[in-house]
């Protein structure tokens, strides 16, 4: 067996998000979350995502997240399976509407708080460190109706009030916090990222960047608050990462790639360096964006930067300025097909070396510890006659990415941990379906909501257990 490339105490684990696994959408006083009003991809998910107020008035036949994999009632069994794999950490999010059903209620909902107490206790029982996202595509729907989500500055205080409740309640149970999942996603999916409906608005870019400013200020204020409540807390930002390559060495392509990369860096430049990057001035001017910045905002951003940088990585992207090259829509990001890469069944291009490149680029730029909090392969799994699931394709994907990550560590990148996305099968964010599976743990549930919800171990389960046991040496 080769030597481990990973530091001692490396945090191996897996990630989920409340809105994609909990189900129990109206249980114990919970209010509506964005996913609760959306159908799956075959019944207009993207149309609904881009026009959520309209979706709210409609009734669909089936809402994938209403029951989801019922993690809400089955988390003990699920955490036990994660413990069996040897997880050191488990990333999940807190559903804001479980704690404040309307987002702006005077008092928090005790039943919601209790649920997360029980969940974190269960993790700690096995020595699993919870890693908690405060807002993962989960601004309560009521805040869209009343304020159009993060377009409204008042969301900052509502979020802080919510964050304060969490920091105090879980002060001794949770150490690692992420303020916003994939904060740059607000530019692409404003309803998920910011609880906003931009349909029919004539200045969507202005609104998106203003909302982003509100989130950046909220993130910095939450970081301040977290450190006051418990100086041991580690607060991170979270970026949907993945370098964009130029299609050719034509200088225009190289420039376009640099611009594309800045779209994501923009957020982390603020959260990790503490100020708007100099290039943003020109960008705002050319796009007619004028940020309304309140007194004290810039000071808060400057003083309360994050402790570490977390990110999701699924693939790289490719850009060209030639008229002949057509951008093809991936599920979320537009990209060209890279002829050197294979792709998943959903067209997400597979690029382990791009992972190493992305990590090096992030570390070079910020010199802060990194944490990979999402990575994995969405694939259709087949249950064999004997009940087994032979997901060698998933093992191959993860092996290559873990190898690349080990190389990045050897390149000098400081890396705290790795949580694979969807360690237990759950509802896909982009498709709303079960068939796009990422897990080591299979859940018997189909796209129409049929199935026993029974859990079983895939082949990758034992493989990942071995990876963790050997600190990434035996892949
Ligand atoms: C990220 C999100 C996750 C997750 C993942 C995979 O953008 O943070 O919530 O869903 O992508 O995407 P999908 O579920 O669409 O396959």
pLDDT digits (tens, 9 = 90+) for 105-137: 999 999 999 999 999 999 999 999 999 999 999
Which ligand 1 atom is nearest residue 182's CA? 8
Q: Give residue 302's pLDDT.
A: 98
Q: Give residue 322's pLDDT.
A: 86
Q: How many CB atoms lie within 10 A of CB 254?
A: 16
| Residues shown for the chain | 475
Q: What is the mean pLDDT of residues 38-50?
A: 96
332: confidence class by pLDDT, cuts 50, 70, 90: low
Ligand 1 site residues, Cβ closer than 6 angstroms: 17, 20, 181-182, 240, 312, 331, 374, 378, 421, 428-430, 436
Torsion angle in degrees (nearest 10) through CA of 391, 397, 400, 401: -130
335: confidence class by pLDDT, cuts 50, 70, 90: confident
Q: What pLDDT digit, counting tens, does each position of 350-364 carry?
A: 999 999 999 999 999
Q: What is the mean pLDDT of residues 59-75?
A: 98
Residue 1 falls inside a structural domain: no
Q: Give residue 451's pLDDT.
A: 98
Structure tokens at 233: 């807390």
What total of structural domains would you count in the chain? 1
Q: Give residue 334's pLDDT.
A: 75
Average pLDDT, the chain: 97
Is residue 29 over pLDDT 80? yes
Residue 2 falls inside a structural domain: no
Out of 68, 180, 312, mutate this one to test ligand 1's pocket (max ligand atoms within 8 Å of CB): namely 312
Is residue 445 over pLDDT 80? yes
Look up the CATH number of the domain holding residue 254. 3.20.20.80
324: confidence class by pLDDT, cuts 50, 70, 90: confident
Q: What is the whole-number distance in angstroms between the Cα of residue 422 and the centre of ligand 1?
A: 9
Q: What pLDDT digit, counting tens, does each position of 261-317 carry?
A: 999 999 999 999 999 999 999 999 999 999 999 999 999 999 999 999 999 999 999
Q: Give residue 325's pLDDT.
A: 77
Which ligand 1 atom is nearest residue 430's CA? 15
Residue 474 falls inside a structural domain: no
Q: Give residue 2's pLDDT.
A: 84
**Spatial separation of the C-alpha atoms in residues 456 and 193, rounded to whole Å:** 32
Q: Give residue 80's pLDDT.
A: 98
Alpha helix (H) ranges present in 350-391?
A: 352-366
**Spatial separation of the C-alpha atoms in residues 96 and 466, rounded to whole Å:** 36
Residue 3 falls inside a structural domain: no
Residue closest to 78 by CA, chosen among 420, 87, 312, 11: 87
Which ligand 1 atom is nearest residue 331's CA? 15
State CA 41 to chain mean position distance. 19
Q: Which domain holds residue 122?
A: 11-469
Which ligand 1 atom is nearest residue 378's CA? 16
Q: Give residue 406's pLDDT.
A: 98
Residue 475 falls inside a structural domain: no
Q: Give residue 328's pLDDT.
A: 59
Is residue 36 over pLDDT 80? yes
Is residue 331 over pLDDT 70? no
- Model-level pTM? 0.97
Q: Which residues of 377-407 are buried (b: 16+ CB within 10 A; e: fewer)?
A: bbbebeeeeeeebebebbbebbbbbbbbbbb
Residue 130 falls inside a structural domain: yes
Q: Give residue 153's pLDDT.
A: 98
Residue 218 falls inside a structural domain: yes
Residue 4 falls inside a structural domain: no
Q: What is the whole-number distance in angstroms between the Cα of residue 95 and the centre of ligand 1?
A: 16
Percent of the chain surpassing pLDDT 90:
97
| Cα distance between the two ends of the chain | 9
Q: Which residues are catalytic?
A: 374
Out of 426, 429, 435, 436, mutate this one to test ligand 1's pocket (max ligand atoms within 8 Å of CB): namely 429
Out of 40, 189, 241, 374, mutate this one to test ligand 1's pocket (max ligand atoms within 8 Å of CB): namely 374
**Spatial separation of the C-alpha atoms in residues 207 and 198, rounded to whole Å:** 8
């Amino acid at each position: 067996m080769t030597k481990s490339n990973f530091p001692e105490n490396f945090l191996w684990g897996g990630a989920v998000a409340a809105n994609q696994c909990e189900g129990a959408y109206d249980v114990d006083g919970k209010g509506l979350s964005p996913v609760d009003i959306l159908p799956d991809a075959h019944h207009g998910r993207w149309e609904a995502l881009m026009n959520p107020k309209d979706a709210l008035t409609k009734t669909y036949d089936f809402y994938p997240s209403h029951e989801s994999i019922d993690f809400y009632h089955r988390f003990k069994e699920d955490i036990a399976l994660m413990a069996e794999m040897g997880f050191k950490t488990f990333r999940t999010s807190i559903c804001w509407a479980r704690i404040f059903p309307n987002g702006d209620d005077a008092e928090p909902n005790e039943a919601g708080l209790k649920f997360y107490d029980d969940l974190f206790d269960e993790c700690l029982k096995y020595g699993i460190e919870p890693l908690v996202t405060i807002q993962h595509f989960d601004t309560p729907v009521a805040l869209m109706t009343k304020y159009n989500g993060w377009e409204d500055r008042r969301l900052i205080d509502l979020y802080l009030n919510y964050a304060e409740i969490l920091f105090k309640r879980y002060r001794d149970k949770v150490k690692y916090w992420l303020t916003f999942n994939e904060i740059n996603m607000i530019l692409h999916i404003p309803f998920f990222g910011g609880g906003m409906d931009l349909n029919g608005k004539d200045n969507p870019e202005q609104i998106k960047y203003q909302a982003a400013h509100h989130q950046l200020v909220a993130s910095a204020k939450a970081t301040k608050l977290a450190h006051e409540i418990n100086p041991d807390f580690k607060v991170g930002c979270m970026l949907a990462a993945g370098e964009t390559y130029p299609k050719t060495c034509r200088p225009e392509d190289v420039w376009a790639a640099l611009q594309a990369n800045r779209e994501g860096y923009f957020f982390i430049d603020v959260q990790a360096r503490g100020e708007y990057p100099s290039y943003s001035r020109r960008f705002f001017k050319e796009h007619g964006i004028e940020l309304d910045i309140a007194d004290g905002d810039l000071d808060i951003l400057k003083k309360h930067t994050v402790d570490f940088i977390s990110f999701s990585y699924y693939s790289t992207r490719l850009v060209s300025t030639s008229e002949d090259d057509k951008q093809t829509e991936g599920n979320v990001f537009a990209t060209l097909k890279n002829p050197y890469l294979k792709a998943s069944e959903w067209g997400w291009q597979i690029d382990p070396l791009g992972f190493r490149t992305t990590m090096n680029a992030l570390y070079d730029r910020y010199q802060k510890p990194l944490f990979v909090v999402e990575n994995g392969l969405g694939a259709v799994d087949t249950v064999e006659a004997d009940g087994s699931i032979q997901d060698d394709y998933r093992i191959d994907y993860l092996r290559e990415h873990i190898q690349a990550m080990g190389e990045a560590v050897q390149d000098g990148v400081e890396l705290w941990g790795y949580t694979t996305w969807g360690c237990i099968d759950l509802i896909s964010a982009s498709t709303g379906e079960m068939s796009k599976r990422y897990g080591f743990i299979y859940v018997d549930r189909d796209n129409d909501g049929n199935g026993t919800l029974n859990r079983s171990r895939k082949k990758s389960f034992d493989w990942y257990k071995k990876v963790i046991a050997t600190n990434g040496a035996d892949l």
